[in-house]
Amino acid sequence: MDVLDDHQQIASGDTISIRILEDRREALQQVVAVTGEVQAPYVGLVNARGKTCRSLAFTLKRELEKNFFKNATVVIAIDRINPEDQIRLRTVDLEFYVMFGFVAKQGKYDLPSNEDISISQAILRAGGFAQFANKEKVKIIRKTPRGNKTVLVNVDGIMRRGDLDKDVYIRKDDVIIVEELNWNF
Protein backbone atom coordinates (compact mmCIF):
# COMPACT_ATOMS: atom_id res chain seq x y z
CA MET A 1 0.00 0.00 0.00
CA ASP A 2 2.98 2.30 0.46
CA VAL A 3 3.49 2.39 -3.32
CA LEU A 4 0.07 3.95 -3.97
CA ASP A 5 -0.08 7.52 -5.35
CA ASP A 6 0.33 10.06 -2.55
CA HIS A 7 0.35 13.22 -4.70
CA GLN A 8 -2.82 13.54 -6.79
CA GLN A 9 -5.92 14.37 -4.80
CA ILE A 10 -9.23 12.67 -5.51
CA ALA A 11 -11.96 15.05 -6.69
CA SER A 12 -15.72 14.87 -7.16
CA GLY A 13 -16.47 13.23 -10.50
CA ASP A 14 -13.29 11.15 -10.54
CA THR A 15 -13.69 7.44 -11.19
CA ILE A 16 -11.66 5.37 -8.75
CA SER A 17 -11.10 1.63 -8.36
CA ILE A 18 -11.16 0.07 -4.89
CA ARG A 19 -9.86 -3.44 -4.31
CA ILE A 20 -9.45 -5.37 -1.06
CA LEU A 21 -6.93 -8.10 -1.80
CA GLU A 22 -8.11 -10.38 1.03
CA ASP A 23 -11.66 -10.24 -0.38
CA ARG A 24 -10.47 -11.85 -3.65
CA ARG A 25 -13.07 -10.02 -5.73
CA GLU A 26 -12.46 -7.81 -8.72
CA ALA A 27 -11.84 -4.10 -8.16
CA LEU A 28 -14.97 -2.03 -7.62
CA GLN A 29 -15.22 1.11 -9.74
CA GLN A 30 -16.90 4.08 -8.10
CA VAL A 31 -17.55 7.64 -9.23
CA VAL A 32 -16.80 10.12 -6.46
CA ALA A 33 -20.07 11.88 -5.64
CA VAL A 34 -20.66 15.62 -5.62
CA THR A 35 -20.47 15.35 -1.84
CA GLY A 36 -17.00 13.80 -2.15
CA GLU A 37 -18.13 10.38 -0.95
CA VAL A 38 -17.77 6.90 -2.41
CA GLN A 39 -19.42 3.64 -1.43
CA ALA A 40 -16.61 1.44 -0.08
CA PRO A 41 -17.06 -2.34 0.28
CA TYR A 42 -18.02 -3.40 3.84
CA VAL A 43 -17.54 0.17 5.15
CA GLY A 44 -20.24 2.18 3.40
CA LEU A 45 -19.99 5.86 2.48
CA VAL A 46 -16.51 7.32 2.95
CA ASN A 47 -15.28 10.83 2.17
CA ALA A 48 -12.69 10.57 -0.62
CA ARG A 49 -12.49 14.15 -1.92
CA GLY A 50 -9.18 15.83 -1.14
CA LYS A 51 -7.49 12.57 -0.14
CA THR A 52 -4.81 10.79 -2.11
CA CYS A 53 -5.14 7.14 -3.10
CA ARG A 54 -2.69 6.16 -0.36
CA SER A 55 -4.42 8.13 2.41
CA LEU A 56 -7.85 6.80 1.41
CA ALA A 57 -6.47 3.24 1.29
CA PHE A 58 -5.10 3.54 4.83
CA THR A 59 -8.40 5.05 6.04
CA LEU A 60 -10.30 2.07 4.61
CA LYS A 61 -7.70 -0.36 6.00
CA ARG A 62 -8.30 0.96 9.55
CA GLU A 63 -12.07 0.66 9.16
CA LEU A 64 -11.91 -2.84 7.66
CA GLU A 65 -9.61 -4.11 10.40
CA LYS A 66 -12.06 -2.97 13.11
CA ASN A 67 -14.77 -5.48 12.18
CA PHE A 68 -14.10 -7.43 9.01
CA PHE A 69 -10.48 -8.46 8.45
CA LYS A 70 -7.56 -9.20 10.74
CA ASN A 71 -5.24 -7.68 8.14
CA ALA A 72 -6.57 -5.73 5.16
CA THR A 73 -4.66 -4.69 2.05
CA VAL A 74 -6.49 -1.98 0.12
CA VAL A 75 -5.50 -0.87 -3.37
CA ILE A 76 -6.99 2.35 -4.75
CA ALA A 77 -6.32 4.01 -8.09
CA ILE A 78 -7.76 6.95 -9.96
CA ASP A 79 -8.84 5.53 -13.31
CA ARG A 80 -7.63 7.52 -16.29
CA ILE A 81 -10.38 8.83 -18.56
CA ASN A 82 -10.16 11.31 -21.41
CA PRO A 83 -10.91 15.01 -20.73
CA GLU A 84 -14.26 14.98 -22.58
CA ASP A 85 -15.51 12.14 -20.38
CA GLN A 86 -14.22 13.89 -17.26
CA ILE A 87 -16.18 17.05 -18.11
CA ARG A 88 -19.30 15.01 -18.91
CA LEU A 89 -19.09 13.07 -15.64
CA ARG A 90 -18.71 16.22 -13.57
CA THR A 91 -21.69 17.81 -15.32
CA VAL A 92 -23.95 14.78 -14.81
CA ASP A 93 -23.00 14.44 -11.15
CA LEU A 94 -24.29 17.93 -10.32
CA GLU A 95 -27.84 16.62 -10.03
CA PHE A 96 -28.72 15.74 -6.45
CA TYR A 97 -31.41 15.43 -3.80
CA VAL A 98 -31.22 16.28 -0.10
CA MET A 99 -32.16 14.07 2.86
CA PHE A 100 -33.03 15.59 6.26
CA GLY A 101 -34.38 14.34 9.54
CA PHE A 102 -34.53 10.95 11.19
CA VAL A 103 -32.31 8.87 8.91
CA ALA A 104 -28.91 7.39 9.68
CA LYS A 105 -27.04 9.83 7.42
CA GLN A 106 -28.47 13.20 6.44
CA GLY A 107 -27.02 15.12 3.53
CA LYS A 108 -26.83 15.75 -0.18
CA TYR A 109 -26.96 12.67 -2.43
CA ASP A 110 -26.17 12.24 -6.12
CA LEU A 111 -29.04 11.62 -8.47
CA PRO A 112 -27.51 9.73 -11.42
CA SER A 113 -29.09 10.62 -14.74
CA ASN A 114 -28.89 7.02 -15.95
CA GLU A 115 -30.94 5.45 -13.14
CA ASP A 116 -34.24 6.06 -11.39
CA ILE A 117 -34.18 6.24 -7.60
CA SER A 118 -37.36 5.82 -5.60
CA ILE A 119 -38.08 7.19 -2.13
CA SER A 120 -37.50 3.77 -0.52
CA GLN A 121 -34.13 3.46 -2.27
CA ALA A 122 -33.20 6.99 -1.17
CA ILE A 123 -33.96 6.08 2.46
CA LEU A 124 -31.79 2.96 2.15
CA ARG A 125 -28.93 5.00 0.65
CA ALA A 126 -29.14 7.24 3.70
CA GLY A 127 -28.57 4.21 5.93
CA GLY A 128 -32.24 3.59 6.70
CA PHE A 129 -34.54 5.19 9.22
CA ALA A 130 -33.31 6.39 12.60
CA GLN A 131 -34.92 4.97 15.73
CA PHE A 132 -37.84 7.37 16.18
CA ALA A 133 -38.59 8.13 12.52
CA ASN A 134 -42.15 8.58 11.31
CA LYS A 135 -42.00 6.04 8.49
CA GLU A 136 -45.61 6.59 7.45
CA LYS A 137 -45.37 10.31 6.65
CA VAL A 138 -42.14 10.99 4.79
CA LYS A 139 -42.23 14.37 3.04
CA ILE A 140 -40.87 15.06 -0.41
CA ILE A 141 -40.68 18.78 -1.14
CA ARG A 142 -40.46 19.33 -4.88
CA LYS A 143 -39.94 22.59 -6.77
CA THR A 144 -42.52 23.18 -9.50
CA PRO A 145 -43.21 26.18 -11.75
CA ARG A 146 -46.12 27.07 -9.43
CA GLY A 147 -44.03 26.86 -6.24
CA ASN A 148 -43.06 24.12 -3.85
CA LYS A 149 -45.21 20.99 -3.74
CA THR A 150 -45.20 18.63 -0.73
CA VAL A 151 -45.88 14.93 -1.24
CA LEU A 152 -46.46 12.62 1.77
CA VAL A 153 -45.35 9.02 1.28
CA ASN A 154 -45.99 6.00 3.50
CA VAL A 155 -42.54 4.40 3.15
CA ASP A 156 -43.36 1.87 5.87
CA GLY A 157 -46.15 0.52 3.64
CA ILE A 158 -43.79 0.33 0.68
CA MET A 159 -41.09 -1.54 2.61
CA ARG A 160 -43.26 -3.82 4.78
CA ARG A 161 -46.25 -4.56 2.55
CA GLY A 162 -44.68 -4.07 -0.86
CA ASP A 163 -46.91 -1.18 -1.98
CA LEU A 164 -44.54 -0.52 -4.87
CA ASP A 165 -47.10 1.49 -6.83
CA LYS A 166 -46.77 4.17 -4.09
CA ASP A 167 -42.95 4.24 -4.28
CA VAL A 168 -42.45 7.77 -5.69
CA TYR A 169 -39.39 8.48 -7.82
CA ILE A 170 -36.99 11.19 -6.68
CA ARG A 171 -36.29 14.13 -8.98
CA LYS A 172 -33.47 16.63 -9.18
CA ASP A 173 -33.39 19.08 -6.23
CA ASP A 174 -36.02 17.19 -4.20
CA VAL A 175 -35.80 17.64 -0.44
CA ILE A 176 -36.79 14.59 1.60
CA ILE A 177 -37.73 15.16 5.23
CA VAL A 178 -38.21 12.30 7.69
CA GLU A 179 -39.86 13.73 10.79
CA GLU A 180 -39.94 12.36 14.31
CA LEU A 181 -42.71 9.98 15.31
CA ASN A 182 -45.22 11.70 17.61
CA TRP A 183 -45.78 9.79 20.82
CA ASN A 184 -49.03 10.08 22.76
CA PHE A 185 -48.86 8.88 26.34
What span, in angstroms and rounded, lies between the C-alpha atoms of 87 and 169? 27
Give the residue range(s) of CATH 3.10.560.10 domains in the chain. 95-178
- Residues 167/120, Cβ–Cβ less than 8 Å: yes
Q: Which residue has the higher pLDDT, 22 or 119?
A: 119
Given its phi and psi angles, is residue 52 left (phi above 0), alpha (psi -120 to 50 degrees) or beta? beta
Pick one of 3.10.20.30, 3.40.640.10, 3.10.560.10, 3.40.50.880 as the CATH number of 95-178: 3.10.560.10
**pLDDT tier at 174, thresholds 50, 70, 90:** very high
pTM over 0.75: no
Task: Please determine, for residue 25, whether its predicted confidence score (pLDDT) is greater than 50.
Answer: yes
Give the residue range(s) of CATH 3.30.1950.10 domains in the chain. 15-91
Q: At the fourth CATH level, which superfamily is domain 15-91? A: wza like domain (3.30.1950.10)
Report which of 109, 128, 115 is spatially closest to residue 39, judged by C-alpha positions.
Answer: 109
Q: What's the distance, CA 63 to chain centroid?
A: 18
What is the length of the chain?
185
